[in-house]
Chain A
């Protein structure tokens, strides 16, 4: 065995050259790419951290907005509740008022109906009383009634003033003598003579029949008439009764 110094020198140079070459073509590129990856990863982590911080900030903002919205919602609900309460009270008062008004209107209508019904019933009662009186009077003797009513008519003609008498007896105009039943010729003659005497002169007398008079006689001139019949009397009684009812209602 011998030691070859030239081989030692060559191998030393070889290893040193290899060291430089591997450093140039192996270790430096690999370390560079690892460092680049680490930098990229750190950048990504930094970006992720920034994104996370941003997301957390946004989440906090959203949470605050939710809280504000919740508070706003509560406020709106409370306000709506208050408004609803006020509206309900208003509607309730209005309803109560309307109910009271309706009740008053119904009571008034009821009173009016009752009054109308009362008046109707009273009118009906008056009508019935007139009918009853008419039927009762119809049972009396026509002659007796006629005689009595003629006297009564004469008294009323005597009580007329001159103006009233002139309004009743216009010269040339027809003066109707209306009775409930037809007069016989004797009675007509009697009536003619009596009226000429009372009315001071001859007049254009015309005899007519109106059963609604029930009994009595009426003189119907152009501008006036003298009513002296049961019908007129009953109408006056009925008018008096109505006047009494109106006075009681006003009171």
Chain B
């Protein structure tokens, strides 16, 4: 019997801080993403190579998603949304590497991502509407809705955590069970399904982050920022 995928173990300690496997894998992913970015953006030119064109296509696609979902100029939100998409996507697909468990299969990583989205939502809401205006959104359409809106804000953040964690963890869990039962080749279709699920969940998480942040920004997203929206 394999060990529980829900279990988390410290690989080593940096002083009082225990470095667990998700953290180590995340560092590996960071190294991969940053190193790859440096390599890919090393020789950018006005006449792009195929590699540069693919990179620009990725960035412009993310910008297009931001523009379509949030109805806003994408420049301000691109780093956050792009980082979320790339990190979750590569984290989910890190299961392809033998012996590596996706960081997103652990709830601490998903909670960290959802916490960042929550903070971004509050930041952009306050930036766009002001503190009073942002707080006033909780009283819409009436003051009676204040408790429900507060609960909704919390629960939808939790829903993001649970959705991502549940999908990725379940995939890892199922593959682990199948591997323990039948061994080689049989889990391959399930792994492929897990990859698809991982890509879809990265997209869903990112879209939800855009929807929540865009909803918090409100008029800023539909008004002022819309002026510099590129067609």
Chain A interface residues toward B at CB < 8 A = 1-12, 14-23, 25-27, 29-34, 36-37, 40
Cβ distance B91 to chain A, nearest Cβ, rounded Å: 10
Cβ distance A26 to chain B, nearest Cβ, rounded Å: 4
**Once the chains bind, are A17 and B38 in contact (CB under 8 Å)?**
no
Q: DSSP class of A's interface residues: helix, strand, loop or mixed? A: helix
Chain B interface residues toward A at CB < 8 A = 4, 6-8, 17-20, 22-23, 26-27, 29-30, 33-34, 37-38, 40-41, 44-46, 48, 52, 55-56, 59-60, 75, 78-80, 82-83, 86-87, 103, 106-109, 111-113, 115-116
Q: A23 to B7, alpha carbons, bound, how many Å?
A: 33
**Once the chains bind, are B23 and A33 in contact (CB under 8 Å)?**
no
Question: With a CB–CB cut-off of 8 A, which chain A residues contact B19?
Answer: 10
* Pairs across A and B, CB under 8 Å, 16 listed: A2-B8, A3-B107, A3-B108, A4-B108, A6-B20, A7-B18, A11-B22, A11-B23, A11-B109, A14-B26, A22-B33, A26-B37, A30-B59, A32-B44, A33-B56, A34-B59
Q: A177 to B228, alpha carbons, bound, how many Å?
A: 153
Question: With a CB–CB cut-off of 8 A, which chain A residues contact B87?
Answer: 15, 18
Nearest-neighbor residue (CB-CB) of B75 within chain A? A31
Question: With a CB–CB cut-off of 8 A, which chain B residues contact A25?
Answer: 34, 37-38, 41
Q: A14 to B32, alpha carbons, bound, how many Å?
A: 13
Nearest-neighbor residue (CB-CB) of B103 within chain A? A11
**Once the chains bind, are B112 and A18 in contact (CB under 8 Å)?**
no
Q: A15 to B83, alpha carbons, bound, how many Å?
A: 8
Q: Which of A3, A7, A17, A36 has the most CB of B within 10 A?
A: A7
Q: A18 to B31, alpha carbons, bound, how many Å?
A: 9
Q: A130 to B8, alpha carbons, bound, how many Å?
A: 174
**Once the chains bind, are B44 and A30 in contact (CB under 8 Å)?**
yes
Q: A137 to B120, alpha carbons, bound, how many Å?
A: 168
**Once the chains bind, are B83 and A7 in contact (CB under 8 Å)?**
no
Cβ distance B12 to chain A, nearest Cβ, rounded Å: 13
**Once the chains bind, are B79 and A23 in contact (CB under 8 Å)?**
yes
**Once the chains bind, are B30 and A26 in contact (CB under 8 Å)?**
no
Given A11-B26, A29-B44, A33-B48: 14 more A-B contacts, CB < 8 Å: A3-B107, A6-B18, A10-B19, A10-B26, A14-B112, A21-B30, A22-B37, A25-B38, A26-B37, A27-B79, A30-B55, A30-B56, A33-B52, A37-B46
